[in-house]
Amino acid sequence: TRATAFGRVLTANRQDQYRTVSEFLGGIKVAKSLNVEDSYFAQLRSTLEKMKADNIDYVRNSTIGTAVFQVASVVGLSLFIYVALVRFNLSLAEIVVLLLVFMRIAPRFMDMQTQAQQVLINLPAFTAMRSLQARFDAEREPGHTEFADAGTLSLNTGLNIRGVSFAYGDAGDKVVVSGITFGLPAGKVTALIGPSGSGKSTIADMLLGLLEPTTGMMLVDGVEIDASNRRRWRDQVAYVPQDVFLLHDTIAVNLRLAAPRASDGDLWAALHQAHAGEFVERLDLRLETVVGDRGVRLSGGERQRIALARALLRKPSLLILDEATSALDWQNQSLIARSIDGLRGTMTILTIAHRPSMIAFA
* pLDDT tens per residue, range 125-170: 778 788 878 877 777 766 555 554 455 677 888 888 888 888 876 6
Same structural domain, 188 and 100? no
Q: Is residue 154 part of a domain?
A: no
Which pLDDT value is given to residue 287? 85
Does 179 fall in a domain? no
pLDDT of residue 20: 74
* Residue 5, beta-bridge partner list: none
Q: What is the pLDDT of residue 233?
A: 83
Residue 83 inside a domain? The answer is yes
Say how far apart CA 358 and CA 172 lie, in whole Å. Answer: 34
CA distance 272 to 80: 86
State how many domains the chain has: 2
Q: Are 117 and 194 in a shared domain?
A: no
Helix (H) or strand (E) holding 222: none
Question: What is the pLDDT, as a whole number, of residue 2?
Answer: 67
Residues with Cβ within 8 Å of 321's Cβ and at least 6 positions away in sequence, in order, are: 240, 308, 340, 349, 350, 351, 352
Strands 174-185 and 237-240: unpaired
- Cα dihedral across residues 313, 269, 255, 187: positive or negative: negative
Q: At what angle do helices 300-313 and 264-273 cross, to 10 degrees?
A: 120
Instruction: Classify 195 in phi/psi space as left (phi over 0), alpha (psi -120 to 50) or beta.
Output: beta
Query: 311: Cβ–Cβ under 8 A, 6 or more apart, which residues?
Result: 238, 239, 240, 258, 319
Which pLDDT score, from 0 to 100, does residue 318 have? Answer: 87
Q: Parallel, antiparallel, or unpaired: how do β-strands 189-193 and 174-185 relate?
A: unpaired
Residues 6+ apart with CB under 8 A from 361: 189, 337, 340, 341, 344
Quick one: 213 exposed, middle or buried, by C-beta within 10 A (0-12, 13-18, 19+)?
Answer: buried
135 and 194 together in one domain: no
Residues 231 and 295 in one domain: yes
Of 121, 139, 157, the domain-final residue: 139
Could you tell me how many residues make up the chain?
Answer: 362
Claim to verify: residue 207 and residue 110 sit in the same structural domain:
no
Residue 26 burial (10 A CB sphere; 0-12, 13-18, 19+): exposed
Based on the domain organization, do 49 and 188 belong to the same domain? no
| Separation of alpha carbons 312 and 290, rounded Å | 21
Q: Is residue 85 part of a domain?
A: yes
Per-residue pLDDT of the chain (362 residues; tens, 9 = 90+): 666 777 777 777 777 777 777 777 777 777 777 677 777 778 778 877 877 887 787 777 667 767 777 787 778 778 877 777 777 777 777 777 777 877 777 777 777 777 777 777 777 777 878 887 887 777 776 655 555 445 567 788 888 888 888 887 666 667 778 888 888 888 888 888 877 777 788 888 888 888 888 888 888 888 888 887 888 888 888 888 878 888 888 888 888 888 888 888 888 988 888 888 888 888 888 888 888 877 788 887 788 888 888 888 888 888 888 876 665 566 667 777 777 777 777 788 888 876 665 555 55
Query: 263-297 burial by CB neighbour count: b if 16+ within 10 A, else e?
Result: eeebbbbbbebbbbbebbeeeeebbebebeeebee
Same domain? For 126 and 196 the reply is: no
At residue 358, the pLDDT reads 54
Whether residue 168 is contained in a domain is answered as no
Phi-psi region of 222 (alpha: psi -120 to 50; beta: other; left: phi over 0): left
Residue 32 pLDDT: 72
Sign (positive or negative) of CA dihedral 233, 239, 243, 249: positive
Q: What's this model's pTM, rounded to 2 decimal places?
A: 0.65
Are 191 and 257 found together in one domain? yes
Q: Which domain holds residue 24?
A: 2-139
Q: Quote the CA–CA distance of 239 and 118 in Å, as a whole number.
A: 46
Instruction: Give the CATH number for residue 202.
Output: 3.40.50.300
Confidence (pLDDT) at 329:
62
Report pLDDT for 282.
87
